Amino acid sequence: MLKCEYAVRGEIVIHAQRLQQQLQTQPGSLSFDEILYCNIGNPQSLGQQPITFFRELLALCDHPCLLEREETKSLFSADAISQATNILASIPGRATGAYSHSQGIKGLRDVIAAGIAARDGFPTNADDIFLTDGASPGVHMMMQLLIRNEKDGILFPIPQYPLYSASIALHGGALVPYYLDESTGWGLEISDHKKQLEDAQSNGIDARALVVINPGNPTGQVLAEENQRDIVKFCKNEGLDLLADEVYQENIYVDNKKFNSFKKIARSMGYNEEDLPSVSFQSVSKGYYGECGKRGGYMEITGFSAPVREQIYKVASVNLCSNITGQILASLVMNPPKAGDASYASYKVEKDGILQSLARRAKALEDAFNNLEGITCNKTEGAMYLFPQIHLPQKAIEAAKAAKKAPDAFYALRLLESTGIVVVPGSGFGQMHNPASGLRRRRSPIISRFKAFHEAFMAQYRD
């Protein structure tokens, strides 16, 4: 427990919450009037609107008597009404307030399985789907199942979303990092994986699984297909389970890259279920939907033996079931309106608008970073974040030492206290060798405030 750290909700965020309290109780006491939370991808907290069709459906499912009222026909779209009717028919008792099957409602899993099959072009089985309260509980569940003792290791990327290191630590396993290469746009070299694995083995670690995040957080890269094939082959050869975090599958902003699930890559390489145990994590929190607070997602589990699957089911059943709103949303994410549906046109406008806005803001922030003294930032291809490298002057590093802070935490605290912008120091993602800052993108005042802060900071500490 004590080894577990979670920087996206760590020291800087706790300090930000204190400042927010101060702004409420003593308005005007700080040099800014709002806290700008850029520490985690939480789009609706920053003004992103939910997809109308999804919310219409949720409202109708949660309050089914609306379906019997005449005025509902003028307030809700025709396909929301018909789909809500169908979804309710698949829920035992038509009740969103009832527990469901521990893997989730079968009718919704069927829809998700069909969505995955349409996405990948390979068959998918609804029995392989476990609905979860977001990707995080699914990750915890897998770590709990995989880790027996402190000698069981999990390979995970650096820089990484700290859910992985936190979860491995919580479940008492060994962290086996592999490194993404900033100089090649956060690509990976399978020889590095091999070396890290061998080092771990020579220390008595039994590596059980490899985590890959694609598109990446915090680094924003979309893996090249060749890299994906290398990972699949590596896991197969080394007998590692593949844990693929695919929560940003809708967030790709470059024309020359597209999302390929690891299952699709494995199947197109000729590997079948029995060749490679793998898990794909998906969530309703990201993409264009951004429904983080609704807590929904799923794991698609393939290639595990029947006795292992029984244990996975047992752990899921100890949690009873995931929340039903999240389950419905997960089915909508994998089966959104199609051309010809009544809501399609408005759904498409909303979806495209959100994704274009995310892409525009990513580029604006990337350009702003690369035009500032001492900052370099790779091109962002996907996800919701930028991971710039900030070369701090020696004087700033000494000031950090005097304040008993790591240089990147010192910078992030100064940024927060001057502007109200909350970022995560690079070390929170495991990038210890340089003071980088995981700065999340948001609407434009961020850029001007950040720029003014950085220029003043450099003027104060320039060597």
The residues binding ligand PLP (CB under 6 A) are: 40-41, 134-136, 161, 163, 213, 217, 245, 247, 283, 285, 292, 297
How far is it, in rounded angstroms, from Cα 96 to Cα 104? 12
How far is it, in rounded angstroms, from Cα 217 to Cα 207? 23
Closest of 170, 147, 266, 303 to residue 155, by C-alpha: 147
From the CB of 370, what's the least distance to ligand PLP, in Å?
Answer: 24
Closest of 258, 271, 259 to residue 232, by C-alpha: 271
From the CB of 12, what's the least distance to ligand PLP, in Å?
Answer: 16
Residue 36 or 292: the one with the smaller Cβ distance to ligand PLP is 292
From the CB of 297, what's the least distance to ligand PLP, in Å?
Answer: 5
Nearest 5°: phi and psi at 223?
A: -65, 140
Residue 197 or 243: the one with the smaller Cβ distance to ligand PLP is 243
How far is it, in rounded angstroms, from Cα 405 to Cα 399? 9
DSSP H or E stretch at residue 106: helix 106-120
440, 385 in Cβ contact below 8 A? yes
Residue 60 or 135: the one with the smaller Cβ distance to ligand PLP is 135
How far is it, in rounded angstroms, from Cα 122 to Cα 114? 10
From the CB of 205, what's the least distance to ligand PLP, in Å?
Answer: 24
DSSP string, 260-310: --HHHHHHHTT--GGG--EEEEEESSSTTT--GGG--EEEEEES--HHHHH
From the CB of 247, what's the least distance to ligand PLP, in Å?
Answer: 5
Residue 40 or 142: the one with the smaller Cβ distance to ligand PLP is 40
Residue 186 or 457: the one with the smaller Cβ distance to ligand PLP is 186
From the CB of 452, what's the least distance to ligand PLP, in Å?
Answer: 28
Residue 76 or 281: the one with the smaller Cβ distance to ligand PLP is 281
Q: Which residues on adjacent β-strands are paired with residue 278?
A: 242, 302
Closest of 217, 214, 239 to residue 227, by C-alpha: 214
- Tell me, what amino acid is at 216? G
Residue 260 or 343: the one with the smaller Cβ distance to ligand PLP is 260
Write down the H helix ranges in 177-293.
Answer: 190-202, 225-238, 262-268
From the CB of 352, what's the least distance to ligand PLP, in Å?
Answer: 23
From the CB of 332, what's the least distance to ligand PLP, in Å?
Answer: 15
From the CB of 431, what's the least distance to ligand PLP, in Å?
Answer: 15
Provide the CA 154 distance to its chain's centre, in angstroms: 19
Residue 4 or 456: the one with the smaller Cβ distance to ligand PLP is 4
How far is it, in rounded angstroms, from Cα 88 to Cα 90? 5
From the CB of 310, what's the least distance to ligand PLP, in Å?
Answer: 25
What's the token pair of residue 76? 């809700």
How far is it, in rounded angstroms, from Cα 281 to Cα 259? 14
Residue 180 or 292: the one with the smaller Cβ distance to ligand PLP is 292
Kindly give the pairing relationship between strand 241-245 and strand 206-213. Answer: parallel
Residue 218 or 407: the one with the smaller Cβ distance to ligand PLP is 218
